[in-house]
Structure 1
Amino acid sequence: MALLAACSSKSPKEASKSSGAKETINFATVGTTAPFSYEENGELTGYDVEVAKAVFKDSDKYEVKFQKTEWSSVFTGLDAGKYQMAGNNISYSEERAQKYLFSYPIGTTPAVLTVPKDSNIKKYDDIAGHSTQVVQGTTTATQLTEFNDKHSDKPVELNYTNENITQMLTSLNEGKYDFKIFDAPTVNAIIKNNKLSNLKTIELKSDEQPYIYFLFA
């Protein structure tokens, strides 16, 4: 709550004090990455959304309003003051930490390497020279850019897109690209719910626990 108060704009806060009304916290999320944020019966739900609802449930000062938007707009909206808070399976990066406040971790999510079942990719290092889709500003895009810096003789072909993860995995299932790195719960849910029978996942090892967080402007 202290973080929320610190990041709130002055005029709504003053208005809420004088009127006694609750201050609205606009919470940005993508709404297409089950089980973290997605739509069900026309309403946003998912792990991040439900945790945020629980945080604000008994507050007499704040109410949360969920705003569905594209991934890149989450950050531009925080920058512009359109949103005060965001949650969508968001991981830590030093670049983000320079601009935003992080909550304590709200969960963990392991990443997997998803490939067609007949792929010759068996482990992470095998992605060299293969193609994938990435969204600008994601940790995966940063990770693969760093991979290419170290493997300039055989870089990964990065195809930037604004498609959501379901669309990207569908393209992978159809053989349009070679692999996709994403979190295991979302990938497994999409493969099952959309019957993407041509895909399999490979566990990625990591020395760091992949925590996820809420962001504050």
Structure 2
Amino acid sequence: MRKSLFLGLTILTGLVMSPLAHAKEKEVVVATAGDIRPFSFERKRQLTGYDINVLKAADKLIDDYRFTYKKTSWESIFVGLDSGHYQVAANNLSYTKERADKYLYSKPIATNPLVLVSPNNAKVNQLNDIGGLTTQDDTGTSTAKLVSDWNSKHKDNPSTIDYSGEDVSKRLFDLENGEFNYLIFDKISVETIIKQKSLDLHVTEIKTKDNPNNYIIFADDQEELQKSFNEALEKLQESGKLEKLSKTYLGEDYLTHDNTHR
């Protein structure tokens, strides 16, 4: 009887304390477009991918926060960070000075150089070949800025950017069909999609001084969360969990030994 009473009190105490413990955790909303394999995409209506699962693994090591995930358009990710609707962005994000002036960067979670993609029957082999050609991109991306910066130095024969709003899978399909001339995107996503879709495209790595790393980005008032995430990221790397996630979602070890925010 005494044992039953003790067991009942234990269960009751657990039921009472569990919501209180849960309430101490601060909810963090992670924004992602969810359309960029293998970093963030939907499987059976659930968000998954390398970026998402790195965050989920880190969440297990961080006591004070509870992460939830929100699929939204690319254009609204940073608007949501500015307005406070989102606290974190995860979308195969690269480093730019403009973003670093407004937001907080994690330590790098992977290295992922840019590549130049073109149809095999009309190859574009280097950045200096894009003059007079057309590409597709989104507004506010590092790749669109790369082309815009190139155009500013080649005003006599600039490249045209069509801001299509399509996801990268559709763009690669349209590129193969000749709807535009070239695409600049990250190596891992391009190679993953070309393999999955059996696309006939030419891929060459771009030689630039730009930072090739990927990051998680935080709103500018999330210093404590940034610090907690970076500490968790170090533990994941030391334990081998981060390398395992990279091999699972990216196909091989794409971790960087650059431990800075740039």
Q: TM-score, normalised by structure 2?
A: 0.73
Aligned AA (2:202): K
The match for 1:73 is 76
Per the alignment, residue 212 of structure 1 pairs with: 214
1:166 and 1:34 map into 2 onto residues whose CA distance is: 8
Alignment-derived partner of residue 133 in structure 1? 136
Kept after mapping to 2: 8 A contact 1:136/1:161: no
1:102 to 100, 105, 114: 105
TM-superposed CA distance for 1:18, in Å, is 10
Distance 2:211 2:76 in 1: 27
Structure 2 unaligned runs (5+)?
1-18, 220-262
Residues 176 and 17 (structure 1 numbering): CA distance in 2 closer, same or farther, change over 3 Å?
same
Distance 1:148 1:81 in 2: 35
Q: 1:46 & 1:18 partners in 2: Cα distance?
A: 29
**Do residues 112 (structure 1) and 115 (structure 2) align?**
yes
CA distance in 2, matches of 1:160, 1:137: 10
Q: Percent identity?
A: 41
Alignment of 1:159-178 (within 5 A): 159-178=162-181
Q: Counterpart of 1:74 in 2: which secondary structure?
A: helix
Question: Structure 1's 49 and 19: CA in aligned 2 closer, same or farther, altered over 3 A?
Answer: closer
Q: 1:201 maps to what in 2? A: 203
Task: Quickly say closer, same or farther: Cα 1:150–1:61, change in 2 above 3 A.
Answer: same
Unaligned runs of 5+ in 1: 1-15
Tell me the distance in 2 between the aligned counterparts of 1:125 and 1:17. 60
For the pair shown, the structure with the greater C-alpha radius of gyration is 2
When the two structures are superposed, what TM-score results if normalisation uses the length of structure 1?
A: 0.87
Shift of 1:200: 1.4
Tell me which protein shows more helix as a share of its residues: 2
The offset of 1:209, in angstroms, is 4.3
Query: After TM superposition, where is structure 1 displaced by more than 4 Å over at least 4 residues in a row?
Result: 16-19
Count of residues in Structure 1 that have an aligned counterpart in Structure 2: 201
